[in-house]
Copies of this chain bind each other. A is one copy, B any other.
Amino acid sequence: MGLFQEAQEMEKHSKSSLSVMNGKIMAIAFFEPSTRTRLSFETAMLRLGGRVIDMGSVEASSLAKGENLADTIRMLDSYADLIVMRHELEGAARFAAEIADAPVINAGDGAQNHPTQAMLDAYTMWREFGRIDGLSIGFMGDLRYARVINSLVQVLSLFDVKLHLISPPSLRPRAELLDFMRGRGMRFEMHDQLEEAVEGLDVLYVVRIQKERFPDPMEYERVRGSFRLTMESLRGARDSLIILHPLPRVDEVDFAVDQTRHARYFKQAALGVPLRMALIKLVLGGAE
């Protein structure tokens, strides 16, 4: 829980700045774009007093000339004190970490991993409830392909929580994830609709359902309608329910929900900065 306590400490500085990372350089190595995650890391490093260099898009970089990933990482390693990496291939961050002397933070790789998102999601729950143990947490939407689900379930497996997995049948979590949950003795239930679970939830985590998952556009439209979060679908929810979303959202959370006491997704995004400040401090071992 050191990370969360450090993050809470960092919240005091998330709109000012520290000098703990003075003279340190973070290299952004995003082999696939992600504006939110990139800016969240950059802001965190700047608030700590550090500086940032950015490899830029792959198209504009040496990789376009045929350079292999290892050589690119070695280059960044010789420039920076810390590498923040995003890649479309699973395992790319681990591979980079084996090559680089500098620490590598995985800012998302492959289809299933986004560990710092999972950390900030869990941190948001901890900040809201003062604990994670005992929470009843619903996931709604595409639980099969959404990148954040896998990492977040791994983080939550460290706590005593009850999961409610709400998705269309074709987008239920993969067998590997279900096996993982069983192996860890996690309590979970599957649901075909939010209605079945909404009353008992402390947290509802919504993820987008992407059109390209459905061969039949009509089927997509039908499913999407059932898994959009609206004021109506929140009837029966506890007053204390909080709604999370990794953002960006398109229309899977109705704008009317933004005004309710339940909405926490903007706060959640904002908490990414202190969480990543804390993570950078832990990784680089900075002492104030």
Contact = CB atoms under 8 A, between A and B. Distances in A.
Interface of A: 15-17, 22-25, 27, 33-36, 39-40, 42-43, 46-47, 51, 53, 55-57, 60-62, 65-67, 71-72, 74-76, 78-81, 247-250, 266, 269-270, 273
B53 A39 contact: yes
Nearest to A16: B23
Given A15-B81, A25-B43, A39-B75, A65 B266 contact: no
Contact of A250 (B35, B53, B65, B270): B65
Contacts of A25: 43, 46-47
A35 to B, nearest CB: 4
B273 A78 contact: yes
A92 to B, nearest CB: 18
A250 B43 CA distance: 35
B53 A46 contact: yes
Contacts of A66: 248, 250
A146 to B, nearest CB: 13
A245 to B, nearest CB: 10
A74 B266 contact: yes
A71 B23 contact: no
Contacts of A270: 78-79
A36 to B, nearest CB: 6
Contacts of A62: 34-36, 247-248
A151 to B, nearest CB: 19
Contacts of A74: 266, 269
Nearest to A17: B23
A40 B23 CA distance: 16
Given A35-B60, A53-B46, A248 B79 contact: no
A51 B46 contact: yes
Given A27-B39, A35-B61, A39-B55, 13 more contacts: A16-B23, A17-B22, A17-B23, A23-B47, A36-B62, A43-B79, A43-B80, A65-B248, A65-B250, A67-B248, A71-B247, A72-B248, A75-B269
A78 B269 contact: yes
A48 to B, nearest CB: 10
What 8 A-B pairs come out closest when comparing CB atoms?
A17-B23, A78-B270, A67-B248, A35-B61, A62-B248, A43-B79, A66-B250, A46-B51
